[in-house]
Structure 1
Amino acid sequence: MPNKISNISVDCVVFGYDTITKSLNVLLIKRYLESKEKEVLVDDYVLTGYHVYEDETLDDSATRVLKELTGLTNQYKKQFKAFGDPDRLLSEKDLIWIDKEAFSLRTITIAYYFLLKTEDVDVTRNKYQAKWFPLRSLPELGFDHKKIIEEAHEDLKTKCLAEPIIFELLPDKFTINDVQDLYESILGIEIDNRNFRRKLINKKYIIPLDEKQVGVSKKPAQLYMFSKDIYKKMYHKNYLISI
Structure 2
Amino acid sequence: MSSNANFQTEIIPNISVDCVIFGFDKNTKSLNVLLIERFLKFDDSEVPSVNDYVLKGFHTYENESVDETANRVLKELTGLEQLYKKQFKVFGDPNRLKNEKDIIWAQNQHFSERTITIGYYILLPTDVVQIKNKYNPQWFPINQLPELGFDHKKIIAEAYTDLKEDALSKPIVFELLADKFTIKDLQDTYEAILGVEIDNRNFRRKLITKKYIIALDEKQTGVSKKPSQLYMFSKDVYQKIYKESYLINI
Does residue 115 of structure 2 align to residue 107 of structure 1?
yes
Matches within 5 A, 1:24-173: 24-37=31-44, 39=46, 40-124=48-132, 126-173=133-180
Q: CA deviation at 1:215?
A: 2.1
Q: How much has 1:232 moved relative to structure 2?
A: 1.5
RMSD across aligned C-alpha pairs, in angstroms?
1.2
Counterparts of 1:43 and 1:56, CA distance in 2: 31
Q: TM-score, normalised by structure 1?
A: 0.95
CA contact (8 A) 1:117 1:169 kept: yes
SS in 1 for 2:36: strand
Letter of the aligned partner of 1:68 in structure 2? E
Q: Equivalent residue for 2:248?
A: 239
CA distance in 2 between counterparts of 1:21 and 1:136 reads 13
- Aligned pairs, number: 240
Query: Aligned to 1:162, what secondary structure does the other structure show?
Result: coil
Alpha-carbon separation, structure 1, partners of 2:189 and 2:23: 10
Task: Give the aligned residue type for 1:112.
Answer: Y
Where 2:162 maps in the other structure, the secondary structure is helix
Q: Which runs of 5+ in 1 are unaligned?
A: none
Structure 1, 160-169 or 228-237: larger mean CA deviation:
228-237
Distance 1:123 1:57 in 2: 27
Corresponding residue of 1:202: 209
Q: CA deviation at 1:200?
A: 0.6
Structure 2: runs of 5 or more not aligned = 1-6
1:30–1:43 CA contact under 8 A, matched in 2: yes
1: distance between equivalents of 2:248 and 2:177?
A: 19
Partner of 1:175: 182
Could you list the per-position Cα deviations for residues 151-172 of structure 1 after superposition, in whole angstroms to 9, with x for gaps in the alignment? Answer: 1000000111111011111011
User: What amino acid does structure 2 have at the position aligned with 1:72?
Assistant: L
Q: CA deviation at 1:145?
A: 0.2
Question: 1:1-38, CA deviations, whole angstroms, 9 ceiling, x for partnerless residues?
Answer: 57101111110000110001000000001101110135
Q: Retained in 2: the 8 A contact 1:163–1:238?
A: no
Percent identity for Structure 1 against Structure 2 = 65
